[in-house]
Amino acid sequence: MPLTHLVRFSQRMAVVTLMLIAGMLVFNAALWIFPVLGSSDGLGAGFSLSGVMITQLSIKIEMLAWWQTLGAIVVSSVPLIALACGLNHLRRLFQAYAREEYFSSLAAAHLGKVGRSVVLWVISSFICMPILSVLATLHAPPGQRLFTISFTSADFVALFLAGCIAVIARILARASEIDSEIKTFV
C-alpha cells in the first residue's frame, strides 16, 4: 500500500472511530428512551448492558420511573465511556499514523491506553451489571427483582485482546527507542 494511501486510510479511520464513539453513546441513551429499539428483534438486541437488560432480562422500560430511566442511562454509559476513552486513543493513534509517526513513543502510549481502556471496560461492565439490574427492577413486585452478575466468554476474549494490545504497545515503545537511537547514531 503506497504511503499516501496509508495516510488517507489512517485519516478515514480516525473519523470513523470518532463517529463510532459518538454513535455508541447516543445509541445507548436511545435504547432507554425509545424502548422499541431494544425489543428482541430491534437494533439494540445485543448492544452493551442496555441490550442485555432489555432483551435477555425482559426489563419493561415503559414501567420505569423517569429517574430510573435516567439512572439506567448513566449506569449503562459508564462502561461505554471507558470504551470511548480507549477508542479516542485509537483515534489519536490513527491521527499519528496519518502524520507518518509510525515508531513514535506517543503512538506506543496511545496503543497502551487502548489496551488499558478495554480492561477498564470489561471491569466496569462487570461492576455496573448488578447495579443496573437492581435499579431497573427496584419497583418490581417481590420475587421479580433482580441482582444479575455476568462474566461471559466475550469478556475473557476482550481481556485477552487487551493483554495482546498491551504487549504490542510495549514492543512499539521499544521499537521507538531503537529508532531514536539509530537516528542519533546516524
CA-CA distance, 21 to 109, in Å (whole number)? 20
Can you say how many angstroms the Cα of residue 119 is from the centroid of all Cα atoms in its chain? Answer: 10
Give the closest residue to 124 by CA, choosing from 90, 153, 82.
82
The 10s digit of each residue's pLDDT in 3-60 is: 689 999 999 999 999 999 999 999 888 888 887 766 555 555 556 666 666 666 667 7
Yes or no: say if 107 and 174 are a contact pair by the CB < 8 Å rule: no
Domain ranges of the chain: 3-185
Q: How much is the pLDDT for 75?
A: 94
CA-CA distance, 177 to 37, in Å (whole number)? 49
Question: How high does pLDDT run on average in the chain?
Answer: 86
Q: Worst-scoring range by mean pLDDT, 40-49, 78-87, 138-147?
A: 40-49
The 10s digit of each residue's pLDDT in 85-96 is: 999 999 999 999
Q: What is the pTM of this model?
A: 0.84
Q: Confidence band (pLDDT; 50, 70, 90) for 142?
A: confident
